[in-house]
Amino acid sequence: MSQLNATIADPASVDAAIENRFCVRAFLRDKPVPRQMLERLLELASRAPSGTNMQPWKVYVLEGAARDALCAKVCQAHDSVLQHPELETRYRADYDYYPRQWVDPYLARRRQNGWSLYGLLGIAKGDKDKMHQQQQRNFQWFDAPVGLMFTVDRVMGSGSLLDYGMFLQNLMVAARAHGLHTCPQAAWNGYASIVLPHIGATAEEMLVTSIALGYADETAPVNTFHTPREPVASFTHWVK
Ligand SMILES: Cc1cc2nc3c(=O)[nH]c(=O)nc-3n(C[C@H](O)[C@H](O)[C@H](O)COP(=O)(O)O)c2cc1C
């Protein structure tokens, strides 16, 4: 059957894979993801559309020793910034993921998100050590056995980041369909100067983001954190 005639026999499953994707922040460290499964997920992700079919994605898969070594390097750098804040300028992301100037409603949503997560974890406002420890969990991929790094050639336009988003969402939704969970992580971006040489990326590539991938720890309280969405009417204009 051609793609044109294919009917999606079970649309509820597609909806469910989308609706049940959320950020898992505690994974089962010792439950590996089979290589075949990883390849299948990446194949599905690559069905994403991209301008003139440029397919700008470049994926680096880290497991085992390569994974652990990068975690150790970045955790150490992150700790050093806590002790010597002047070092922060040494670590810069390749592009602005967040706005330079925070305005509402985005600022309010960001705060609500952050404080809800920290509240669930028992982290009080101003408890810098605990906040640091939680941030540090990012650089352990929340114990996920698979850490994915995504780069794009610096020569590409900002539209390629749009294409990339579609690739990443495909990957995360497909992961749910196969019983896996994910957490996209821009936290790594600031440490591109450590990440890129470690993964063997060339100087022509920039770090787009990272994703933690694995099986969720169903006993971890952090994985009960679910985020709200604005209703369709609040972001949709029916133009007359
Ligand atoms: C590109 C991207 C980068 C993100 N970076 C981080 C991160 O570094 N650490 C983290 O804990 N969550 C990160 N998040 C997760 C968001 O906070 C999360 O997607 C949002 O709060 C909505 O929640 P949900 O994904 O559980 O639905 C990121 C999400 C995206 C899309």
User: What residue ranges do the domains of the chain occupy?
Assistant: 21-96+138-225
Q: What's the half-sphere exposure (Cβ side, CA atoms, 13 Å) at 15?
A: 4
CA dist., res. 55 & res. 46, Å (int): 8
Q: Are 148 and 59 in contact (CB under 8 A)?
A: yes
Q: Are 207 and 188 in contact (CB under 8 A)?
A: yes
The number of the ligand 1 atom at minimal distance from the alpha carbon of 138 is 9
- Which tens digits make up the pLDDT trace of 134-193? 999 999 999 999 999 999 999 999 999 999 999 999 999 999 999 999 999 999 999 999
The number of the ligand 1 atom at minimal distance from the alpha carbon of 97 is 1
CA dist., res. 137 & res. 25, Å (int): 8
Helices and strands (H and E) in the chain: how many: 8, 4
Ligand 1 centroid distance, CA of 115 (Å): 14
Please name every residue paired with 207 in a beta bridge, in sequence order, or none if there are none: 151
For 105-222, strand residue ranges (E) read 146-153, 181-185, 205-214
Please name every residue paired with 146 in a beta bridge, in sequence order, or none if there are none: 213
Ligand 1 centroid distance, CA of 172 (Å): 12
Please name every residue paired with 100 in a beta bridge, in sequence order, or none if there are none: none
pTM score of the predicted model: 0.97
Tokens 């996920």 correspond to 144
CATH C-level class of 21-96+138-225: alpha beta
What percent of the chain lies above the pLDDT cut of 70?
Answer: 100
The number of the ligand 1 atom at minimal distance from the alpha carbon of 225 is 26
- Which tens digits make up the pLDDT trace of 11-59? 999 999 999 999 999 999 999 999 999 999 999 999 999 999 999 999 9
For 53-204, strand residue ranges (E) read 58-62, 146-153, 181-185
